[in-house]
Amino acid sequence: MPCVRQTEGEIPRINFTEWYKRELADPETRHEVKKHLNGTMLWIVSIFVHILLVAARPTENDVENDNATDTEFARNNCVLSTRYKYGDLKEPQPLILTRNGTVSTILYPNVNGTLKVQAGRSIYLACPGKRNSLRDMDYAQEVKATCVKNKIFQVNGENRNFSSLTCYRLPEHTARRTKSSCYNRNTHVEIGFNLSTNFLRVIELCRDEKTYNTYYTKFRMTKLIGGYQRSYPRPPKWMVGDYYGKIDINWQYNFNTQLVTLEKLLNSSELAKSHLTKSRQFLSRGHMAAKADFVYGALQSLTFWYINAAPQWMSFNAGNWEMLEASVRNFATDRSLDLDVYTGVHGQMTLPNASGKQKDIYLYANGTTRAVPVPKFYWKIIYDPRSKKGTAFVGLNDPFIKSITEDIYICSDISSKIKWLMWSPDDIKAGISYACTVDDLREAIPTIPKFQTVGVLTDQKFRTSCFSIGQTLWPVDECQLLSTDEASFTNNGMFNRYNEHTWSAENSRLRRKISTDKDTRTF
């Protein structure tokens, strides 16, 4: 049985008529072909049976059937839109939580920004922080809200429209050092919210308190990230805390300050001006855990801590690094995967001074004191803790190189295997970028935490299988089979009901579609 592999930018064409004539002309192959067809058809039937069983099975917590429309569900239950400005979650927004015993966690909407709550079930709303509470709730910072129907919730014995349940100010987040340590006995920090039940960690990081360098950050990206609040405003200022000593870190990101600093480091005003261009090329506050990597605005605001950033050249920040972040979010959504995302920096970039000697570049230079090194590389790892598969990515934070040399690649490039990645990896201004295996990158960067990986997160293997299935299912004159992805099936080979995937043929004589319900996130 032929199995055509998809190559980049190509959709294979298979002439099934000629193939079947050739195969069935040989008597010795007829039995094997028939056996293969029967086995494949039984496998396909089992998929549809599983879909029917899943659809008929009551879901956890007796939630409403996912096929119900929002209008039908809202007649006797609650349906909320979390869209920024136009939805039911008004500002200043509270945290929307679920509670399991004494542990509270974030409750997310579906990828369309819709949150469904069954009548009689409860959620929790929180407005943590000093001098903060829910409006008109007797200064309560946390309340239990039980769905009545539509957009009405019962809070403290009173029926309230959900849109009226707001805080006096945005939930206050904090960054605190823990008793744990990380790479080479450095400081472990967590950023999150102080709740009555627990500290709700959102981001954790490893930090060198001597150089003011954050080695890496880690957070869990939800598979429902597609429903994140778009265009949510940035906070008026970045948070500093007590993490930079006497250095005014905010002032170091000022363009004129960078001009003075670079002039000191390179001993040349002309060289400094040649590398810095106002509004186009400068050292930006490069998020490690990005704003758009979090669903709610309250969580997005939490990313604006300086310890969650490093100096990043603007053309790289707005180039391949931004494209990588967007690609990862799309990947998590499309494959319905909750991912652990690690982001870090490595090395230190240099620039030639007036004498042609390479000098280390820092964001801060005062006299003989140097601090906040400008990294040479940014790296990111996405890891699926269920399958233990992961992929590493590297970007060069140096838009001033003259050519692409071997020393730029600190691990073997496997970008050709990552079909879902959208970027321009060979664009110097946008940042030379590539992908590697996690273990390969860890050999070059010792600060990367240790965790087991058993493969690379890619859909290549499933695409090959899909073509084989398609050739067996549809022996038509000419068929173009579009690929789906490996997340369509769970580890035991059953169809994943939380995604929508399509097998289709472009030929007008054939179009087959397998569509399953998306996770509508009913609680």
Number of other CB atoms surrounding residue 219 within 10 Å: 25
Burial environment of residue 91 by CB neighbours within 10 A (0 to 12, 13 to 18, 19 or more): middle
Measure CA 26 to chain center: 52
For 197-238, give the DSSP string. Answer: S-EEEEEEEEEETTTTEEEEEEEEEPTTGGG--TTPPPPSS-
- Please give the helix or strand (H or E) that residue 363 lies within, else none: strand 362-366
CA distance 352 to 302: 37
Structure tokens belonging to residue 321: 């690094």
Whether the CB-CB separation of 310 and 208 falls below 8 Å is answered with: no
Tell me the C-alpha distance between 137 and 475, whole Å: 66
Helices (H), 63-190: 70-74
Spatial distance between the Cα atoms of 163 and 154, rounded to a whole number of angstroms: 13
> Annotated binding residue at 317?
yes
Helix (H) or strand (E) holding 257: helix 255-266
- Tokens standing for residue 255: 């363009």
| Distance separating alpha carbons of residues 372 and 78, to the nearest angstrom | 49
Separation CA 124–CA 515 (nearest Å): 34
Per the annotation, the verdict on 173 as an active-site residue is: no
DSSP per-residue string spanning 15-79: -HHHHHHHHHTSHHHHHHHHHHHHHHHHHHHHHHHHHHHHHHSPPGGGPPPTTS-HHHHHTTSEE
146: nearest Cα among 135, 159, 136, 134? 159
Q: Are 440 and 459 in contact (CB under 8 A)?
A: no
* Selected catalytic residue, list 173, 275, 287, 501: 287
Q: Give 150's strand partners.
A: 78
195 touches 104 (CB < 8 A): yes
**H/E run at residue 377:** strand 377-384
Binding residues: 317
Question: Which residues contribute to the annotated binding site for Mg(2+)?
Answer: 317
Which residues belong to the active site? 287
